């Protein structure tokens, strides 16, 4: 639902005052096209915003949403694959979707239009979250303007939605809600939680769908060079707030870094210290050191590895990496902190050009962010591998930049264009 909010104010049915309902994926099984939390809006005229399955079940969902608007109630619908009924709405991929449908209303305890519009004004630049009740027959929502600071136990709205208004089990239900909801809210994640209601007549657990978005995580790129410039666009695509920092004005103040959110001209380790002091780094921050110059790298990495950040990576050949590790040990960096360093930076994709290297780095950022099992499916982190970093193919050797790699060395020698194994990262 949060992904649709930026479009809510300009969606013609909402702008013209039509009633509409929200259909949301709240359960999945098997192969499905979209995850839990995916939503679609349906107007009273049958117009839609968003998609739940790419077309497999949308028609049936529209009909169910229109029925919900007619009777004013919420409902849950299940869609799966049926070989027996070729005309039934279902998923050709063989999976199963459970859809919660709720009309947007103005009454208390309902999914309210004014709350959604207020939340839309905060998304995506700032933090925002929505907690919705999505069990059978349940409805309503709690708008959370600041998910990182939200205190479940202090929310009267949430207590009312749980049916915990003063009953004997109210404290227990709210504590259970706090334990499950707050990690999702503060982590900027989407999830479905079930909580036993404190209401005496409630037989089934209350199901709450949490959608939380925090301000964009920061990516600090140190090094205003070809690789830094290539990394900015894909990092923005991944949702990072991107800063490029370099101590050299002639490098930092180039137009090719204009897509970055910020460009700073400062000594890297001093800039990082200022950002920490200003509270602008956190556990989601990623730091990519692309300068490949010990006078910049060593003090910067010494500072970065002492921070509670999500990712620290540094560019360099294996030879330069060993020298950098020795310098960091001499500077007092503990082996446990050194183990956090992704160096050589990136996944082992055989990347050579700055653009390919950017893909390699962003692939490692994604894998690190999700602690992805993809690392065990053929893509290995370069820091955990050994041997040559580049795996040159004929295409690379025959490209327009052949004969010279980005180290600035000629490859017209008896090795037939192959780089030296120890000197073959993007430096």
Mean pLDDT of the chain: 80
| pLDDT one-digit tens code per residue, 236-293 | 999 899 999 999 999 999 999 999 999 999 999 999 999 999 999 998 999 999 998 8
312, 352: one domain: yes
Closest Cα partner for 284 from 240, 344, 254, 333? 240
CA distance 55 to 60: 10
Give ∠ CA 178-179-184 in degrees, rounded to 5.
Answer: 85
Q: What is the pLDDT of residue 314?
A: 96
Return the pLDDT at 419: 38
Last residue of a domain, one of 214, 244, 264: 214
Contacts 24+ apart (CB under 8 A), 396-400: 396/352
Please report the pLDDT score of residue 400 as a whole number.
36
Same domain? For 197 and 270 the reply is no
For the cut 60, the answer to whether the pLDDT of residue 413 exceeds it is: no
Q: What is the pLDDT of residues 110-165, one digit of tens each?
A: 677 667 766 666 545 568 899 999 887 678 888 888 888 899 999 988 888 887 65
pLDDT of amino acid 169: 55
Widest Cα–Cα separation across the chain: 83
Ranges 24-28, 132-136, 328-332, 376-380, most confident: 328-332
Q: Residue 40 in 3-state DSSP?
A: strand
Give the residue from 160, 185, 214 where a domain finishes. Answer: 214
Residues 369 and 387 in one domain: yes
pLDDT the model gives residue 380: 59
Count Cα neighbours of 171 within 13 Å in the Cβ-side half-sphere: 1
- The pLDDT of residue 309 is 95
Contact 9, 117 (CB under 8 A): yes
79 pairs with which residues across the strands?
97
- Identify the pLDDT of residue 387: 62
Number of domains in the chain: 3
- Whether 109 and 95 share a structural domain: no
Residue 252 φ/ψ, nearest 5 degrees? -70, -35
Distance CA 281, CA 276 (A): 6
Average pLDDT of 54-76? Answer: 86
Last residue of a domain, one of 87, 104, 121: 104
Q: Is 38:25 a contact under the CB 8 Å cutoff?
A: yes
Residue range(s) defining the domain that contains residue 259: 218-423
How far is CA 379 from each of CA 82, 249, 363, rounded to the nearest angstrom?
Answer: 37, 37, 9
More confident residue, 409 or 140: 140
* Pair (99, 185) in one structural domain: no
Phi/psi of residue 63, nearest 5 degrees = -60, -40
Does residue 4 share a domain with residue 153?
A: no
With 70 as the cut, is the pLDDT of residue 192 above it? yes
Do 48 and 69 belong to one domain?
A: yes
- Regarding whether 287 and 147 lie in a shared domain, the answer is no
- Report pLDDT for 198: 57
β-sheet bridge partners, residue 41: 22, 49
Q: Judge if 161 and 308 occupy the same domain.
A: no
Residue 172 and residue 207 in one domain? yes
Q: Verify that 17 and 62 share a domain, yes or no.
A: yes
Residues 146, 171, single domain; the answer is: yes
Q: Measured between alpha carbons, how far is 7 from 161 in angstroms, rounded to an integer?
A: 27
Please report which residue ranges of 188-311 form alpha helices under DSSP H.
226-237, 249-252, 268-277, 294-304
Residue predicted with more confidence, 136 or 76: 76
Q: What is the pTM of this model?
A: 0.65
Q: 193-232 b/e with 16+ CB inside 10 Å = b? A: bebebbbeebeeebbbbbbbbbebbbbbbbbbbbbbbbbb
Residue 206 has pLDDT above 60, yes or no: yes
């Amino acid at each position: 639902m949060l992904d649709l909010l930026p479009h809510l104010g300009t969606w013609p049915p909402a702008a013209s005052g039509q009633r509409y309902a929200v259909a949301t994926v709240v359960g999945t099984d098997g192969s499905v096209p979209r995850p839990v939390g995916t939503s679609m809006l349906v107007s009273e005229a049958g117009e839609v915003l968003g998609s739940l399955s790419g077309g497999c079940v949308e028609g049936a969902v529209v009909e169910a949403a229109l029925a919900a608007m007619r009777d004013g109630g919420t409902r849950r619908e299940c869609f799966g694959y049926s070989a027996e009924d070729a005309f039934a709405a279902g998923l050709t991929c063989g999976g199963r979707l459970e859809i919660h449908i709720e009309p947007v209303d103005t009454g208390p305890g309902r999914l309210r239009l004014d709350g959604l519009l207020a939340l839309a004004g905060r998304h995506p630049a700032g933090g925002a979250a929505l907690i919705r009740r999505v069990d059978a027959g349940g409805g309503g929502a709690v708008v959370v303007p600041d998910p990182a600071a939200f205190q479940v136990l202090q929310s009267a709205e949430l207590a009312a939605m749980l049916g915990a208004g003063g009953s004997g089990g109210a404290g227990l239900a709210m504590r259970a809600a706090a334990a499950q909801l707050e990690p999702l809210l503060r982590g900027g994640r989407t999830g479905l939680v079930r909580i036993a209601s404190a209401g005496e007549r409630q037989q089934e657990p209350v199901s709450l769908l949490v959608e939380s978005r925090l301000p964009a995580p920061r990516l600090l790129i140190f090094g205003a060079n070809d690789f830094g410039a290539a990394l900015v666009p894909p990092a923005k695509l991944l949702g990072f707030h991107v800063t490029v920092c370099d101590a050299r004005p002639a490098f930092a103040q180039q137009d090719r870094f204009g897509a970055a959110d910020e460009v700073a001209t400062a000594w890297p380790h001093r800039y990082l210290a200022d950002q920490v002091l200003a509270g602008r780094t956190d556990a989601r921050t990623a730091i990519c050191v692309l300068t490949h110059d010990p006078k910049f790298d060593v003090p910067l990495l010494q500072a970065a590895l002492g921070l509670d950040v999500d990712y620290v990576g540094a560019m360099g050949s294996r030879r330069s990496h060993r020298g950098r590790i020795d310098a960091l040990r001499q500077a007092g960096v503990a082996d446990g902190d050194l183990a956090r360093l992704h160096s050589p930076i990136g996944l082992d994709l055989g990347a050579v050009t700055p653009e390919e290297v950017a893909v390699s780095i962003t692939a490692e950022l994604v894998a690190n962010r999700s602690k992805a099992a993809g690392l065990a499916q053929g893509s290995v982190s370069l820091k955990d591998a050994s041997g040559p970093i580049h795996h040159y193919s004929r295409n690379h050797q025959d490209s327009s930049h052949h004969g010279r790699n980005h180290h600035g060395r000629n490859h017209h020698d008896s090795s037939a264009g192959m780089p030296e194994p120890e000197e073959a990262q993007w430096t």
